[in-house]
Structure 1
Amino acid sequence: MKIAEIKAYPLTFIPPKPFYNSVDKHYSRSVTLIKIYSDCGTYGWGEAYGPAVAGMARIIETYIKERLIGEDPFRIEYLWHKIQTKKGLPIGVLGGVDMALWDLKCKILGVPLYVILGGKFFDEFEPYGSGLPFKEVHPDSTEELEKETLDLMSHGFKAIKMKIGFGIERDKKRITRVKELIGDRVDLLVDANQAYNISSCLELLPFLEEMKVKWFEEPMPWHNFTSYKKLRERSNIAIAAGEQENNMQGFISAIQDQICDIIQPDIPAVGGITPMKRIAAIAFANNIELHPHIFGTVISLPAALQFMCSQPNYHSWCTFKPPVMIEWDTNPNSMARKLLKEPLELTDGMVKVPDKPGFGVDINEDALEEFIVK
């Protein structure tokens, strides 16, 4: 069996109005979908992150295709190393290709990804609604924040994550308002997107503990491991980080140095399922929880569900309740629903792991045209 064809689809969605985190203003949501065919007609899907989606598609057309077409799609480790050795290759492209190869392999075999990874521990996960960015017209208003908080609660989320990092006093005001709305019925997570330094984090920490925040995500610039370790030692709430890392040595250092309680690799951004397996093994060996970061379109979430259901409970090998909350991106993105033939759904605040072959989903190719970058 051979790889017969590879196609790339550069896609962009423009939300009705931009939204902010502490370091960036999002005018669009972009992704490159990758489709790899075998010579038997079966295909797999992956997705590559990055704003320059037309450039990513060009790399796939000019570099990836000539190295993969004619190869055995089951030799995923070999193919990963074959294409990653080129200096300057965006890791997101590698991640998308790797994901498509795993999806393809599993579809050829007729099994979900979790079967290939050793079988599943869990049938479903509790997702947290990940959104609540800054959308206010007036900087001191919380009107948009309140609307979105109530909307997430109405959809049944048992935990939500909000953006902070807009200044300590403004953060306190926004967190207080969200807590007034959710009470103790819904867990609250906060994400600073690397906005603060160690002094600001230590100043904010007592308030976060008072508000019973479940975890404090990306409080500082990622590679400041010394400050992360200091913060973790002082904190009574979990410190989460790692979405910025795409190098295996970085994950090894962060995990072995115990700089955070929760490590958050992003499947496409780290290079796909292949390196994700290694990161998960290192995290488990060092008793660090792994909660994947997800900010993709339609492939990352089902891929994460498939991968994480094959991982044991980090707290106890004998506990079969999933400890991991799966990130469910609630920021504006029409692609997230329109591109899947059967969109994933929340039921009683839980999402089931798809049982169909591969990642368990398929793309509605008729809907691609709406988002294609010309």
Structure 2
Amino acid sequence: MALIERVELLMVDLKPKVKRVDAIQSFVSQETPIVRIYDADGTVGTGYSYTIGTGGHAVMSLLERTLAPALIGREAYDVEKIWRDLLFLTHATSVGAITSIALAAIDTALWDLKARKLGLPLHKLAGGAQDAIPLYTTEGGWLHLELEALVEDAVTAKARGFSGCKLKIGRPLHEDVARISAVRDAVGPGFEIFTDANQAFTVDEAIRRARAYEVLDIGWLEEPLPADDIAGHTRLVGHTSIPVAIGESIYSHLHFREYLERHACSIVQVDVGRIGGITPWLKVAHLAECFNVTVAPHFLMELHVSLCAAVPNARWVEYIPQLDSITSQGMTIHDGKAVPSDAPGLGIAWDFDAIEGLTVDGSRSSVS
């Protein structure tokens, strides 16, 4: 047992390696808050979260002014208690994206610290349910790409042993159908094709499009509607045989409960960086298991590989390289599957020299 003595904060801004465009936005910047928590024994836990280009400085201010000071003198092993105390401390701004992103950076650091002190990898500490998770790729399916590029990327992914790919949708319906059809013709029936609308449709439009997509045997229809339209999702699920995936834009575990209770989704895509950390991520995953629903988390593959391996109902890891420029070793892939690290902690090999060089001016602070 050792008390928390110091918290270091900084933020790096990572530029995507490829152009990323979906039905509602372009992803041009990844602000990445990083938290390092030091305990009295000298153990250090490192955590992080992310934005897609806005709000990072607000997250850092909340961390520096409110959350990090509340950690000093706390027992680092009390991860659940700390998470709940910090959630209550910020109740006036919860549920909200800025608060959840800030909480995620702290909570992941606490889990990393605990795992390092115990000498355990995260996937064992959090459950130890699976050894490897199938991968699907998103990086070659962006909406701005021409049809030939979509086909080439899907064929390459299949050759690498991946089990599926994701295509962004939101072009005119006949174009979406043509793009999905071309990929299906190229990869054959044994390769999953997922689609992602990024909340672009109305309910009626989603129902119409789902009818057209059904004959193409797609694996799921992701974020077809705004994330707060649970009734709309319930209506859509009742009108299509396509699994409906939700979760990347949900910031509270309680909202997942509402989706599951109302049978408004078929796939849960809980994102550890947006839900508030590992602590609530595990709650959502186990809740989904109780409803016999699969988990296929959004983004953050370097962290989600360990969390997916921790629970029995995780089916997919989304392949989008995110941390290559600030890590010394990437995620292990074997036969098209993501394999969690057996190193103590989160399993992320941080390159702190690289992080130092990419730290955003004015974002560094220390609380003790």
The two structures have a TM-score, normalised by structure 1, of: 0.87
Mapping for residues 34-113 of structure 1, pairs under 5 Å: 34-50=35-51, 51-85=54-88, 86=90, 87-88=92-93, 90-113=99-122
User: In 2 relative to 1, CA 353–19 (structure 1 residues): closer, same or farther, beyond 3 Å?
Assistant: closer
| Residue 227 (structure 1) aligned with residue 232 (structure 2) | yes
Aligned to 1:20: 21
Determine the C-alpha separation between the residues in 1 that align with 2:121 and 2:333. 20
Aligned to 1:205: 210
Determine the C-alpha separation between the residues in 1 that align with 2:33 and 2:160. 29
Determine the C-alpha separation between the residues in 2 that align with 1:262 and 1:17. 27
- Asked whether the equivalents of residues 17 and 27 of structure 1 are also in contact (C-alpha less than 8 Å), the reply is no
Aligned to 1:317: none
Determine the C-alpha separation between the residues in 2 that align with 1:33 and 1:272. 13
Q: Say which of 256, 268, 276 aligns to 1:271.
A: 276
Determine the C-alpha separation between the residues in 2 that align with 1:312 and 1:134. 32
- Asked whether the equivalents of residues 217 and 241 of structure 1 are also in contact (C-alpha less than 8 Å), the reply is yes
Equivalent position SS for 1:234:
coil
Equivalent position SS for 1:25:
coil
Determine the C-alpha separation between the residues in 2 that align with 1:3 and 1:151. 47
- Asked whether the equivalents of residues 18 and 28 of structure 1 are also in contact (C-alpha less than 8 Å), the reply is no
- Asked whether the equivalents of residues 298 and 318 of structure 2 are also in contact (C-alpha less than 8 Å), the reply is yes
Compute the displacement of 1:225 (Å): 1.8
Determine the C-alpha separation between the residues in 2 that align with 1:253 and 1:303. 26
Moved more, 275-284 or 258-267: 275-284
Equivalent position SS for 2:167:
strand
| Residue 311 (structure 1) aligned with residue 311 (structure 2) | yes
Mapping for residues 129-208 of structure 1, pairs under 5 Å: 129-131=137-139, 132-136=141-145, 141-208=146-213
Determine the C-alpha separation between the residues in 2 that align with 1:199 and 1:178. 26
Compute the displacement of 1:194 (Å): 1.0
Aligned to 2:134: 126
User: In 2 relative to 1, CA 33–311 (structure 1 residues): closer, same or farther, beyond 3 Å?
Assistant: same
Residue correspondences, number: 351
Equivalent position SS for 2:332:
coil
One-letter amino acid of the counterpart of residue 79, structure 1:
I
One-letter amino acid of the counterpart of residue 109, structure 1:
L
Determine the C-alpha separation between the residues in 2 that align with 1:195 and 1:114. 35
| Residue 285 (structure 1) aligned with residue 280 (structure 2) | no
Determine the C-alpha separation between the residues in 2 that align with 1:215 and 1:44. 36
One-letter amino acid of the counterpart of residue 249, structure 2:
Q
Compute the displacement of 1:173 (Å): 2.2
For structure 2, which runs of at least 5 residues remain unmatched after alignment?
362-368
Considering only aligned residues, what root-mean-square deviation do their CA atoms show, in Å?
2.1
One-letter amino acid of the counterpart of residue 36, structure 1:
I
Compute the displacement of 1:150 (Å): 4.2
- Asked whether the equivalents of residues 194 and 219 of structure 1 are also in contact (C-alpha less than 8 Å), the reply is yes
Moved more, 191-200 or 95-104: 191-200
Determine the C-alpha separation between the residues in 1 that align with 2:190 and 2:212. 19
For structure 1, which runs of at least 5 residues remain unmatched after alignment?
314-322
How big is each residue's C-alpha offset from its partner over 1:269-294, in whole Å with a ceiling of 9 and x where there is no partner? 11111112222232222222222222
Equivalent position SS for 2:68:
helix
Determine the C-alpha separation between the residues in 2 that align with 1:290 and 1:68. 31
Determine the C-alpha separation between the residues in 1 that align with 2:143 and 2:45. 36
The two structures have a TM-score, normalised by structure 2, of: 0.88
| Residue 372 (structure 1) aligned with residue 359 (structure 2) | yes
User: In 2 relative to 1, CA 15–280 (structure 1 residues): closer, same or farther, beyond 3 Å?
Assistant: closer
Compute the displacement of 1:232 (Å): 1.4
Compute the displacement of 1:370 (Å): 4.1
How big is each residue's C-alpha offset from its partner over 1:179-207, in whole Å with a ceiling of 9 and x where there is no partner? 23222242110011111122222222233
Determine the C-alpha separation between the residues in 1 that align with 2:28 and 2:72. 36
One-letter amino acid of the counterpart of residue 104, structure 1:
L
